[in-house]
A and B are shown apart, each in its own frame.
Chain A
Amino acid sequence: MSNIPQELRFTKSHEWIRREEDDTLTIGITDHAQALLGDLVFVDIPEVGEECAVGDDVAVVESVKAASDVYAPITGEIAAVNEKLADTPELLNQDPYGDGWIFKIKPADENDYDGLMDADAYQEIIAEDES
């Protein structure tokens, strides 16, 4: 069974989103996604300051098996990236909701966050995969 923290928001494409105190949003891939991909070996991260629209492919995570796009869950600007992933992509496997975060977005509209899927809805989406 995958770990799905209640306090986070999610997307159908298996990103998680955490709202920080400064209203930036931290984004990563879910425990379910990392388990499906297997050992991660390369992460292509965006540049700080890049504009992104919801649905843009802003990062790529590659496992031994396959490459997978990471999509911007919300429109805004890249506010920070996790530089550690360049040398230690395995953080995505080891700690997907912590040290394995990928980038932060400063949202164009802070209210967009409220439209994102909650943990229960995400659980329903992946329940079928894991049954």
Chain B
Amino acid sequence: MNKHTPLYDMHVSLGARMVDFGGWDMPINYGSQIEEHHQVRNDAGMFDVSHMTIVDLSGDGVRDYLRHLLANDVARLRDKGKALYSCMLTEQGGVIDDLIVYYLDDAFYRMVVNAATRDKDLAWLEKQAADFDVEIAVRDDLAMIAVQGPRARDKVHQALGTEAAPLAELGVFFMHQVGDMAIARTGYTGEDGYEIILPAGQASTFWSQLLEAGVKPCGLGARDTLRLEAGMNLYGTDMDESTTPLESGLAWTIAWEPVDRDFIGRAALMAQRDAGVKQKLVGLVLEDKGVLRNHQKVIVDGTPAGEITSGSFSPTLGKSIAFARVSVDIGSQCRVEVRNKLLNARVVKLPFVRNGKICI
């Protein structure tokens, strides 16, 4: 029996096609995933992301704990409500998960980690907490709705009415508490918008209010093509415990300074950096007809040069795009082995699309 979010009945009544996603029954689409994709790029769409794991961390030792646990440095968070994207690494530098952590108070942080990695993440958090004064609370009583798109914020403000006034000034990557709702200006689509954490019992009512405000429901299918266009990694396909952030387009999330901060995985990352990183994550745009898929081989001058980690069709570009892990010395063109044919692809810098604009 799969797990259901508080919005499960809502999805079914809206005609969603439900699929298994890491042990959860989740909506893949409500009709057309391409229409949902365009809805987010052009207007406003919402996603039920209540399957994600919300963890509250409190105690006098929480800041030191997070500075040891994460490759990015929570000391960078000086203003209350500010969020940070980071990887959590093994001693070998492999990525256990990627996550967002919000600084809410000196002794209180909130973390959102992936659904599929829940058990191993929680075990790791507990294990590393042994030497710190930190309390770990999993918030299964909460739901989470992402509202994304150029008109997403306006429509959320409309749904909230007068309560929304402080949100007009909310900065990018900040969270603000409105009543029972923690509203963060974050997302996974490359568009402006909010991720809203609220009590599970209020999720259906708020979802209905968003529907009334003209926000369209969107499934995990559109979420995947949106994040791919936006150049955002998906844990488990673009990186995992066998790859480091340096090989995964995530070097920017490693806080090397200050040098005396001894985070887990630091020694391994420094050794890899000093020896020279051999692979990197790049974007590919297919120039021939077809669709790039995960695990297809990248070929340069007749020899293997890497592999696609995430491939799909880009509704915004109208052609197939992918992330690929390739040799660091790759040029601007390559070929991809697609169903026994070699197709031409262009190597590009990520992202493909940001704030509705094509970047490549």
Contact = CB atoms under 8 A, between A and B. Distances in A.
Contact of A38 (B33, B291, B320): B33
Interface stretch (A19-27, A59-67, A75-83, A111-119): A59-67
Interface residues on B, range: 10 to 19
Contacts of B32: 38-39, 93
Given A64-B34, A65-B221, A67-B293, A41 B313 contact: yes
B221 to A, nearest CB: 6
Interface in B221-239: 221, 225
Given A64-B225, A67-B339, A39 B290 contact: no
B29 interface: yes
A64 B221 contact: yes
Interface string B250-293: 00000000000000000000000000000000000000011101
A48 to B, nearest CB: 18
Interface string A45-89: 000000000000000101011010000000000000000001000
B336 interface: no
A62 B225 contact: no
Interface string B20-34: 000000001100111
A44 interface: yes
Q: Which of B33, B34, B221 has the most CB of A within 10 A?
A: B34
A60 B291 CA distance: 11
B312 interface: yes
A38 B35 CA distance: 11
A42 interface: yes
Nearest to A43: B289
A42 B33 contact: no
Contacts of A38: 17, 28-29, 32-33, 221
B294 to A, nearest CB: 11
A42 to B, nearest CB: 5
Contacts of B339: 44, 60, 67
Contacts of A44: 289-290, 339
Contacts of B34: 39, 41, 64
Interface string A5-42: 00000000000000000000000000000010011011
B290 A62 contact: yes
10 contacts: A38-B32, A38-B33, A39-B34, A41-B34, A41-B320, A44-B289, A62-B291, A64-B33, A65-B28, A93-B32
Given A64-B225, A67-B293, 4 more contacts: A39-B33, A60-B339, A65-B33, A93-B32
